[in-house]
Amino acid sequence: MTATHWRKLIVQPLCFLLVFLLMWVPAVAQTKAAPEKPLDKDHAAKMTKGLDIFKKHVKPMLTQKCLRCHGGKEVEAEFDLSDRAELLRGGNKGPAIVAGKAKESLLYKLIRHDSKPFMPHKGAKLPDETIAQVAEWIDLGAPYDEPLVTRKKSLSWTERIVRDDARLFWSFQPLKRVEPPAVKNTNWIKTPIDRFILAKLEGAQFEPNPPADKRQLLRRAYFDLIGLPPSPEESAAFLSDQAPDAYEKLLDRLLASPHHGERWARHWLDLARFAESHGFEHDYDRPSAYHYRDFLIKAFNDDLPYNTFVKWQLAGDEYEPNNPLAQMATGFLAAGVHSTQITKNEVEKHRYDEMDDKLATIGTAMLGLTFGCARCHDHKYDPILQRDYYRMLATFTTTVRTEVQVGFDSEKYDQAKKTFEKAHAPYLAALAKFEADVLPGR
């Protein structure tokens, strides 16, 4: 299977982002367990509540009443409850817990004295309140925050799995609708967003600034949407327009301007580590780098759907091989640094560094994650295991950097290129003379 097939396989669902978040990226833990279901809004809420019950009630009870005989100093009945994986696996009587189903869980039956041997083995039956807390914890999925015992033995990288509390990582949380806060000065409110702004101002005992005048609004809109100041004629036309929707018409016109894509594509170019030269000490030019820049400008101006925007940058040559714009989008993968003069012994190292660069950029630009640390070890902060870093990196192991002629109107392009070169000929000649005189060794 080719690299592009692999890339297409990774992004096949409608939203590549969900694939990575829900299928690929686990979090750091110290034990093995069955795969968890993807987080949705209800599941996240249950896990949060279950972890709270575990930390406040279940964990202290297990540590005080059960751990000594089951995972602390000894392991009776082959039952070790010192971590979640062993708790789920159970001992010689079978699984101790059926996550989500307290009444079917052996542990619950034993502490209720519904089944023998009654637990705790020595001492009085647990209070009904404690038993109810254990039942609720199991019904919520029996989440753990960390093992009850720190093991001296380090588990191999294939044994480390997601930890329940790490699944609550901020970028994994589902979007949810939030009610705008109540405010005192309701006359100031024009949109629901204004309520959030005013609530913070009122909380700090600040008053909103007075409304901006038309000239201020004009300049703000121009610089924000297209990055250019208004011309004297444009200023005069707006200032003289007394229609109640004059500002809305201005915004629509600026959003429809081709300069809007030029202004806002720059932000994504920064995320994509775009450059028009290869980097390193030789820093040779990339004659075709502008294709990716032009794709971004057109994508912003045409309101390209985000899922298409992402898929094309990762595997546009596979999704739509006959679409020049999709081919241009794959420049994302090659936008990073590229060493052009290396020895035979350096080929593999530089090839790997470029794959690492691709994965790191995908993580920061599209997932809100920093993959780089997991190249050498399980990530210390973001929930990424080293093994999953290499699984994802394998997607690009046979991806090849190459120059491809994009199939636009070649006659029109050639004419435009000749016109450009003719207009810039004096500058190119001066540059060539400068390099010959000042940089003869280049």
Say what the pLDDT of residue 309 is.
Answer: 96
Among 83, 78, 92, residue whose Cα is nearest residue 160: 83
Kindly indicate the confidence band of residue 151, based on its pLDDT and cuts at 50, 70 and 90.
low
Domain assignment present for 16: no
Co-location of 271 and 400 in the same domain = yes
Say what the pLDDT of residue 361 is.
Answer: 92
Domain assignment present for 137: yes
- d(C-alpha 311, C-alpha 320), whole Å: 10
Q: Is residue 339's pLDDT more than 70?
A: yes
Residue 11 has a CB neighbour count (10 Å cut-off) of: 23
Say what the pLDDT of residue 93 is.
Answer: 85
How many structural domains is the chain composed of? 4
Say what the pLDDT of residue 1 is.
Answer: 40
Co-location of 40 and 114 in the same domain = yes
Co-location of 401 and 276 in the same domain = yes
Q: Which amino acid is at 236?
A: A
Q: What's the whole-number mean pLDDT along residues 221-231?
A: 96
Say what the pLDDT of residue 158 is.
Answer: 61
Q: Single out the residue in 162, 187, 202 at which a domain terminates.
A: 162
Whether the Cβ atoms of residue 102 and residue 139 lie closer than 8 Å to each other: yes
Q: Single out the residue in 162, 195, 226 at which a domain terminates.
A: 162
Say what the pLDDT of residue 16 is.
Answer: 41
Q: Lowest mean pLDDT: which of 30-34, 69-73, 187-191, 350-354?
A: 30-34
Domain assignment present for 199: no
Domain assignment present for 200: no
Q: Is residue 46's pLDDT more than 90?
A: no
Which of 138-152, 202-216, 324-338 has the highest mean predicted lDDT (pLDDT)? Answer: 202-216
Q: Is residue 303's pLDDT more than 70?
A: yes
Domain span at residue 236? 214-256
For residue 277, the cross-strand partners are: 285
Which position has the token pair 């789920």? 88
DSSP one-letter string for 347-416: HHHHHHHHHHHHHHHHIIIIIS---GGGGTSS-SSSS--HHHHHHHHGGGTT---------S-HHHHHHH
Co-location of 277 and 383 in the same domain = yes
Q: Is residue 39's pLDDT more than 80?
A: no
Q: What's the whole-number mean pLDDT along residues 59-80?
A: 83
Domain assignment present for 24: no
Domain assignment present for 429: yes
CA–CA distances in Å: residue 344 to residues 162, 203, 400, 405, 426? 40, 64, 17, 28, 40
DSSP secondary structure code for residue 62 in this structure: I
Co-location of 267 and 400 in the same domain = yes
Mean pLDDT of the chain: 83
Q: Lowest mean pLDDT: which of 62-66, 161-165, 215-219, 420-424?
A: 161-165
Co-location of 281 and 397 in the same domain = yes
Kindly indicate the confidence band of residue 10, based on its pLDDT and cuts at 50, 70 and 90.
very low
Give 366-422 pLDDT, tens digit per residue. Answer: 888 888 888 888 888 888 888 888 988 888 888 888 877 776 666 777 788 889 888
Say what the pLDDT of residue 368 is.
Answer: 85
- d(C-alpha 280, C-alpha 269), whole Å: 19
Bigger pLDDT: 149 vs 395? 395
State the number of CA atoms in the 13 A half-sphere of 337 facing the CB.
13
Q: Is residue 20's pLDDT more than 80?
A: no
Give 159-211 pLDDT, tens digit per residue. Answer: 667 677 777 888 788 888 899 999 999 999 999 999 999 999 999 999 999 99
Q: Single out the residue in 256, 277, 306 at which a domain terminates.
A: 256
Burial of 97-110, coded b for 16+ CB within 10 Å and e otherwise, reads bbbeebeebbbbbb
Among 317, 319, 297, 315, residue whose Cα is nearest residue 362: 315
Among 397, 353, 396, 395, residue whose Cα is nearest residue 375: 353
Co-location of 153 and 252 in the same domain = no
Co-location of 235 and 322 in the same domain = no
Co-location of 419 and 402 in the same domain = no
Co-location of 386 and 270 in the same domain = yes
Co-location of 273 and 372 in the same domain = yes
Which of 8-22, 58-72, 183-197 has the highest mean predicted lDDT (pLDDT)? Answer: 183-197
Co-location of 251 and 294 in the same domain = no
Q: Is residue 234's pLDDT more than 80?
A: yes
Task: Output the pTM of the full model.
Answer: 0.60
Whether the Cβ atoms of residue 160 and residue 29 lie closer than 8 Å to each other: yes
Domain assignment present for 53: yes
Domain assignment present for 108: yes
